[in-house]
Amino acid sequence: MADKRKTVFMTGAGGGMGFESFKQMLPDLGLKYDLVILVRDSKKNHELFDEYIYKDGLTVVYGDLLNRADVAKCISMSDMVLHIAAFVSPAADYYPKKAMENNYGSVVNLIELIKSQGKKDTCKFVYIGTVAETGDRMPPIHWGRVGDPIKPSMFDYYAVSKVAAERYVIESGLKYWVSLRQTGIIGPAMAKIRDAIQFHNCIYNVLEYASDRDSGRAMRNLAAFDADGSLAESFWGHIYNIGGGESCRVSTLEMYEAMYGELGFKTLDPVIDPKMYATRNFHGQYYLDSDKLEDYLHFRSDSMQYFYDAYLKELGSAVKAGKVITKLPGGQKLMGAIIKKTFKELLNSEHGTKHWIDENEEDYIDAFWGGRKAWEALPDKVSEMEAFTDWDKVVHIDHGYDESKPESELTLEDMKGAAKFRGGTCDSTEMAKGDWTSPLEFTCQFGHNFKGSPRLILEGGHWCDECERKSWNYGNRAKKDRFFAQVWNPLHEADELREYPKIVSELDVNK
């Protein structure tokens, strides 16, 4: 008798990454594995999925991730969970409590129900994290890797919710879990974004993007390779960065040069006003370690050109008109004025950079520019900005322990040294050599007692959960935490000690 096919339960199938994953998995269904999807009972989702209801190997459940009965039904049928669903930015910026309820609450539901159904050691859990967990990594610290400090940017409640959820996953006690930190996703959806968040992305920021298609392929391959037994056991129990590799690494400046260059602009001066763009407090990095996931899942195929093509398609006939206008005498200035006019509403909106300046919202001005004086000092033209050119130089972030040692050789002394490097102490008196999963006891520099496994602390880059949920207190933390100082001091002045209270934490979610 043939072995029963494995069943994958995927959340978020109606979203950008989720629907791409769904489309790429369709040919496998009923052959390599079966698929269960849980989607909201909405008109949009019925239009997307009703035609597939009778597809062999597919079960469509209309329900809610926060409804335990709906989730329990899906878990009962499944051998693996691909948890792609999330309440993302920019919507999360406007509804932080909803972001926490959905992003953290859904993880709690899923994992608790896996455990209650006796699947703790058999059901495989794939969590999609985010590059936003490590926050602002502007030059010169723009190269990063897993294990670097968790540092969600100020006011980024999407990142805050994902940090709390990832911590829960890592410390869940599940035998098979993995956290895949997704980067910016390029594709038609990104080309359609019209929100103030586009002005939070600093001109000299960098990202190693991944396409929606490649992200979907990663999920398809993960499910397929696991089903046929070719996914190595070593894949599980770790954190990875999802990145498109060298062809998807680009600064915001280079991206704008390519985008506006398609309209005939020879310079960005007519269309980009540096004073309307933040100079820090966004998120992004080039990855030193994204090849690790590629080596397991073999998903990369797209480059930044895929996004530029989507952008041109979104603009439609405006591209031809723009190319004509920008060739005329004074045409670039005219075309730039036309484009800037379309930005006016966004810039003056609740989260618009111009709104913050006009209303003198000091907390936002401090966070995104380093104070009003720093904003005032910005030039009026991109060509007058101080250029950064050393894109290939890597500033190594020390993780505070000997990473050359095999994992099996990790000791309590290693953890005590790592805690000291982080400005705190490891208070445990015993630790089994090479045990990365059992929680140890720590005290942070502010006197908070907390627990965390070596996997959470060393590979995840997490630290004190009480500090994380209370506020953004990065300047004071960097005074004693040498680990964290590496990603704070290069971008800030020594007297930047403002503490930004958080209005929501995972403790506010009703379990």
10-residue block means of pLDDT along the chain (511 residues)? Answer: 82 95 97 97 94 95 96 97 95 95 97 98 98 98 98 98 98 98 95 93 97 98 97 98 98 96 95 97 98 98 96 91 93 94 96 98 98 97 93 97 97 98 98 98 98 98 98 98 98 96 93 54
Query: Please, are residues 77 and 6 in contact by the beta-carbon 8 Å criterion?
Result: no
Whether residue 454 lies inside any domain: the answer is yes
Answer yes or no: pTM beyond 0.85.
Answer: yes
Q: What pLDDT is attached to residue 61?
A: 96
Give the span between the Cα atoms of 93 and 216, in whole angstroms: 25
Q: What pLDDT is attached to residue 4?
A: 84
Whether residue 496 lies inside any domain: the answer is yes
Whether residue 201 lies inside any domain: the answer is no
Joined tokens for residue 500: 């930004």
How many Å is the maximal CA-CA distance in the chain? 77
Question: How many independent structural domains does the chain possess?
Answer: 1
Q: What pLDDT is attached to residue 511?
A: 54
Q: What pLDDT is attached to residue 58?
A: 97
Whether residue 245 lies inside any domain: the answer is no
Measuring CA to CA, how many Å separate 327 from each of 79, 271, 334? 59, 15, 11
Cα radius of gyration (the chain): 23
> Which letter does DSSP use for residue 498 in this model?
-
| 408, 410, 412, 417 alpha-carbon torsion, rounded to 10° | 180
Nearest one of 274, 249, 11 to 126, comparing CA atoms: 11
Give the span between the Cα atoms of 88 and 424, in whole angstroms: 33
Give the span between the Cα atoms of 305 and 435, in whole angstroms: 44
Whether residue 445 lies inside any domain: the answer is yes
Q: In this structure, is the dihedral angle defined by the CA atoms of residues 370, 371, 374 and 380, taken in order, positive or negative? A: positive
Give the span between the Cα atoms of 22 and 4, in whole angstroms: 21
> Which letter does DSSP use for residue 180 in this model?
E
Give the span between the Cα atoms of 152 and 283, in whole angstroms: 8
Measuring CA to CA, how many Å separate 395 from each of 134, 149, 324? 15, 14, 44
Whether residue 306 lies inside any domain: the answer is no
Name the β-bridge partners of 81: 9, 125
Joined tokens for residue 231: 């996914």
Q: Identify the three-state secondary structure at position 455.
A: helix
Domain that holds residue 447: 407-508
Q: In this structure, is the dihedral angle defined by the CA atoms of residues 246, 456, 427 and 451, taken in order, positive or negative? A: positive
Whether residue 452 lies inside any domain: the answer is yes
Whether residue 146 lies inside any domain: the answer is no
* Cα end-to-end span (Å), the chain: 42
